[in-house]
Amino acid sequence: MLAKRIVPCLDIKDGTTVKGINFVNFRDAGDPVELGAQYSDQGADELVYLDITASHEGRKTFTELVKKVAARISIPFTVGGGINELKDVDRLLSAGADKVSINSAALRNPSLINEIAANFGSQVCVVAIDANMENNGWLCYLNGGRIPTDKQLFDWAKEAEDRGAGEILFTSMTHDGVKTGYANEALATLADSLHIPVIASGGAGKMEHFRDAFILGKADAALAASVFHFGEIGIGQLKDYLHHEGINVRI
């Protein structure tokens, strides 16, 4: 069985790492390159860097920052935000990123998933889905949780897989930053219906939440931000805990 992955996420706004609650009320969490280097040293399996206002502001993702991160860390990292065409993917991979995450652009132009998979391989293409629980269903959102769409989480995730996505990064907007646990029921439904890895995002507050995401939610990876950024949970400590709970992690 593949080891479960622990993935710190760095949301970048105006060149610094920030963290919000339910996608608003952001506070500063530090230098993205230094934080990334720390997490790499501490045993994180991967990192995700998201330029959280790039799509909303209609600009391209931070190539120079990607180069600095690549020079400092020794683990794979994914970059997202403002990726709209193959040239963006090529630029970020050339700068040192291992994968790209697309969200708003994929919802607006689903064939972008096919194009990335065909040109760079499915392993490069992470489709991020921000969804909110509304009227007993999970509705997908554009532009960092600002604009609702008519897409439903499970249908869209399946379509993304069929188009060539290599992973699904599902963030529950309902759970984001409130630290009460991941959306495990929805995660399990995704895991059961897809053949590609599912990354859990939104809701980590204590170590038990990671355990539950892997056991109840059947997630392949668990992504978190504030618990790592503000020193509430150490990555080594978390992996030791998960190992003792019988979960296969890289120690």
List the one residue out of 190, 116, 180, 115 whose CA is nearest residue 152.
190
Number of Cβ within 10 Å of residue 155's Cβ equals: 12
List the one residue out of 57, 52, 55, 42 whose CA is nearest residue 20.
52
Cα(20)–Cα(225) distance, integer angstroms: 9
Do residues 163 and 117 make contact, with C-beta atoms less than 8 angstroms apart?
yes
Annotated catalytic residue within 45, 51, 130, 212? 130
Do residues 47 and 39 make contact, with C-beta atoms less than 8 angstroms apart?
yes
Cα(99)–Cα(29) distance, integer angstroms: 23
Based on the residue annotation, tell me whether 192 is a catalytic residue of this protein. Answer: no
Number of Cβ within 10 Å of residue 251's Cβ equals: 10
Based on the residue annotation, tell me whether 31 is a catalytic residue of this protein. Answer: no
Residues linked to residue 24 through DSSP beta bridges, in sequence order: 21
Q: What share of the chain is helix, strand, coil (3-state, %, to 5)?
A: 40, 30, 30
How many CA atoms within 13 Å lie on the side-chain side of 87? 1
List the one residue out of 166, 177, 98 whose CA is nearest residue 126.
166
Catalytic (active-site) positions = 11, 130
